[in-house]
Amino acid sequence: QVQLVESGGDSVQAGGSLRLSCSVSEDTWKKSFSLSWFRQTPENEREGVATIDGDGAWVYADSVKGRFTISKDKDKKILYLQMNSLKPEDSGMYYCAAGRMSAFRVFQFRDRLDEWGQGTLVTVSS
């Protein structure tokens, strides 16, 4: 059973916006303390973009602060990533991830996250 399913990736022009969604299974929602977005390109390793935890804490990568917003809908069990003022360097495969650590530890200890989605592709052209 797939626990995390991303959607919303698309090709957009620089300056545009996208909203990514991650549908989370009920089981994963219940046992996870943090939900996160990561991205990866063929040239770079997977990097943390944004994360939010059960205490309401959130962390953003410096490169997306002020442009991206992470949020979650607990009734629908969906994690969102609103991306504004997109830049070509925001292009990549975006992954949703779930884990039991606090938001402040997710980026550093991403290898300890419990579950990952299959990804959704974002392409930003200049």
Tokens of 93: 């495969």
State residue 35's pLDDT score: 98
Tell me: pLDDT of 49 over 80: yes
Tokens of 40: 């990866």
State residue 2's pLDDT score: 74
Mean of the pLDDT values across residues 97-118? 96
State residue 69's pLDDT score: 98
Sequence-ordered list of residues with C-beta below 8 angstroms from that of 10, at least 6 positions apart, any chain: 18, 122, 123
Tokens of 99: 């884990």
Tell me: pLDDT of 1 over 90: no
Mean pLDDT (the chain, rounded): 96
Give the tens place of pLDDT for each residue, 59-73: 999 999 999 999 999
Q: Quickly count helices (H) and strands (E) in the chain.
A: 2, 11
